[in-house]
Amino acid sequence: MQTVVLDTNALLMPFEIKMNLDLELKGLLGDFRCVVPGPLIGELKHLDHKYAKAALQLARKYDIVQTTRSGDDAVIDVAIATNGYILTNDKKLRVAARKQQIPLIFLRSSTHLILEPAD
Structure confidence by residue, pLDDT tens digits, 43-57: 999 999 999 999 999
Query: Domains in the chain, ordered, with CATH?
Result: 2-116 (3.40.50.1010)
Buried b (16+ CB within 10 A) or exposed e, 14-28: bbeeebebeebbeeb
Q: What pLDDT is attached to residue 111?
A: 73
As a whole number of angstroms, the distance between CA 117 and CA 13 comes to: 21
Strand (E) or helix (H) holding 63: strand 63-65
Q: What pLDDT is attached to residue 112?
A: 82
In the predicted structure, residue 110 carries a pLDDT above the cut 80: no
Looking at the chain, the whole-number percentage of residues with pLDDT higher than 70 is 100
Q: What pLDDT is attached to residue 12?
A: 96
3-state secondary structure of 30: coil
- Taking a C-beta distance cutoff of 8 angstroms, is the pair 18, 98 a contact? no
Structure confidence by residue, pLDDT tens digits, 63-108: 999 999 999 999 999 999 999 999 999 999 999 999 999 999 999 8
Q: Are strands 104-107 and 85-87 parallel, antiparallel or unpaired?
A: parallel
3-state secondary structure of 36: strand
